[in-house]
Amino acid sequence: MLVHRTTRPCPKDPHPSVFARVAPAFVTPRAAAAQLTLTWVGHSSLLLQLDGLNILTDPIWSERASPVRFAGPRRWVPPGIAFDALPPLDAVLLSHNHYDHLDDATVRSLMRAHPNASWIAPLGLAAFVRQRGAATVTELDWWQEHTLGHVRIAATPAQHFSARGFGDRGDTLWCGFALTSTAGRRVYFAGDTGFHPEFGAIGERYGPFDIALLPIGAYEPRWFMRYLHMNPEEAVAAFRALNARAMVPIHWGTFKLTDEAMDEPPARARRAWERADLPPQGYRQLAHGETLVLD
């Protein structure tokens, strides 16, 4: 039986102050080649330092995830890294074109501040970033690869969709990314996805991953969101299929997108992790701005 929001009240959200924001501790200007750091800016925006490169994922620094400034989901927590504090960027990874992952104002600001960065995106998105000033753009289909420095970046399958308006649904692709460094470090960034059968294939081809960055939020009502976003239990199942050593939950606690309470996803994810009898140290939940360092 389907439960609709009109027949069951949405749970109450906490006060935004429950979401801690801590000072980042990434290495400026660059981390050592053998070191892996990741800093959660918020939502699906992360700064990865891998094999001496600085890599940004799905960047959004705007106050709202929206095509307009006066409406749309508003940020609950300021970005974990001040924009002007970003180190010199080598690459920006874009998983798809939704407003909470591809923000026009942020893209334009990055073009001005980091003109030498390479942009890597799924099929169809190159035109968007080129029109805003990108000099180096690479489009990838699922399973295609691109090498930047000593890091191999592969676009991986995801279960989602694309659209920025009413007439462009599905015109561009969506994906995740698997990153492999010559130093032996491996990172998986899922982007935005529902649970799908290719996680095992991704793990077989590109694992074992040191860390899997997996979305856990924006999943209610389930009858509608199950095809687009994993819930916390599915994220843990995806982790188990991926051949990864640790999981960092993303896509939660930043923008109110769906019906579940803002603080529910990490609590459910931690319970799912414990029920799966996975090592406690493998679940690495970060505060906004927090840096995880793997030497």
Q: Express each pLDDT in 222-271 by its tens digit.
A: 998 999 999 999 999 999 999 999 999 999 999 999 999 999 999 999 99
Indicate the DSSP class of residue 17.
G
As a whole number of angstroms, the distance between CA 178 and CA 104 comes to 25
What's the mean pLDDT when you consider all of the chain?
Answer: 94
Structure token digits, residue 266: 């990490």
Q: How far is CA 261 from CA 10, 30, 79, in A?
A: 8, 37, 20
pLDDT per residue as tens digits for the range 78-125:
999 999 999 999 999 999 999 999 999 999 999 999 999 999 999 999
pLDDT at 144: 98
Specify whether the CB–CB gap between 273 and 238 falls below 8 A: no
Chain centre distance of CA 125: 17
- Can you tell me the distance from the alpha carbon of 31 to that of 29, in angstroms, rounded to the nearest whole number? 7
* Structural domains of the chain, ranges and CATH numbers in brackets: 26-294 (3.60.15.10)
User: Across the chain, where does the E strand assignment appear?
Assistant: 36-42, 45-50, 53-57, 91-93, 118-122, 136-140, 145-148, 151-156, 176-181, 186-189, 211-215, 247-250, 291-294
pLDDT score at 6: 52
